[in-house]
Amino acid sequence: MNEFPDIRIPIGTGVEKFIDFLAENFSAFFDFIFVIASGSIKGLESALLFIPWWIFIIIIFLLGWYFTSLYGGLLFSAFIFLIGTFHLWAETMTTISVVLISVILALLIGIPLGILMTFNKTFSNTMRPVLDAMQTMPTFVYLIPVIFFFPLGNVPAVIATIIYALPPVSRLTELGIRNVDQEVIESAQSFGSSRTQMLIKVQLPQALPTIMAGINQTTMMALAMAVVGSMVGAQGLGERVLYAINRIDISLGFEAGVSIVFLAIIIDRITGGIAERLQKHRRNVS
């Protein structure tokens, strides 16, 4: 009575068979995704590396100045300059490319998903536990099925990052639209606005600050996957961290790690500044 009975429900085996089925029957589809994602990452990385380092720093300074403050712009440009002195410039551009592609794809999926959840209560109730599982599942677990579909490299890391980073923007998109002032909606309805016009011209603009907060969280979670993605061959700063761990190289590990921190601070402050400006604009309009 003190021992659990010898009963096993083979859920994991069923998942494994399902993954094998997808890999065998939809290989052409996954090859198509690989070509598109790989080409996008390489194209963006080449574009970033083509920009002279000093112009890139000026761009970061201007973004920081406009969306935060003069001090923020100077600080962010100093962070980028420090990363260059660590001899990690190319790796940083690769990491930015992977994060940007992951975030763009996550937004293209997550925002429409949040809109659908807003207007369909049954769909919302179905998706919530799915999003809970996506957000709480250990990130390493995502890497196991992904490597069945794609060769090792940046692409499986992007797919795993999308799965991990998608829930915040979906949840906050739904929350933002649901919290739009009912009086505003009734006013739009009184003018004969259709459901589509209501969404595009009223609800999405009103919910934009909340959606921007979701974009901020999605971007930060995508950046947090940089080191985890290196375990399936993703290049960039995460790969340098993993290399430093294997070699017990404290210097390289610290420099690559603090470079990821610098990127996280820059992205967080700039996206936060965008959200604040949208919020101020909303208040001025109202």
User: Is 76 contained in some domain?
Assistant: no
User: Is 42 contained in some domain?
Assistant: yes
The domain total for the chain is 1
User: Is 64 contained in some domain?
Assistant: no
Confidence of residue 286 (pLDDT cuts 50, 70, 90): low
Query: And the tokens for 102?
Result: 């992951």
User: Is 228 contained in some domain?
Assistant: yes
Q: How many other CB atoms sit within 10 Å of the CB of residue 249? A: 15
What's the rounded mean pLDDT across residues 141-164? 83
Contacts 24+ apart (CB under 8 A), 158-161: 158/37, 158/41, 158/98, 158/101, 158/102, 158/105, 158/229, 159/33, 159/37, 160/225, 160/228, 160/229, 160/232, 161/98, 161/99, 161/102, 161/106, 161/221, 161/222, 161/225, 161/229
Residue 59 has pLDDT above 90, yes or no: yes
Q: What is the per-residue pLDDT for 95?
A: 92
pLDDT tens per residue, range 228-284: 888 777 888 888 988 898 888 889 899 999 999 999 999 889 888 887 777 676 666
Q: How far apart are CA 140 and CA 142, in angstroms?
A: 5
User: Is 3 contained in some domain?
Assistant: no
Residue 134 has pLDDT above 80, yes or no: yes
Residue 192 DSSP SS3: coil
Confidence of residue 185 (pLDDT cuts 50, 70, 90): confident
Bigger pLDDT: 187 vs 241: 241
CATH of the domain at 160: 1.10.3720.10
What's the rounded mean pLDDT across residues 89-108? 92
Residue 92 has pLDDT above 90, yes or no: yes
Confidence of residue 143 (pLDDT cuts 50, 70, 90): confident
Q: How far apart are CA 158 and CA 49, in angstroms?
A: 20
User: Is 75 contained in some domain?
Assistant: no
Residue 17: domain span: 11-50+86-285
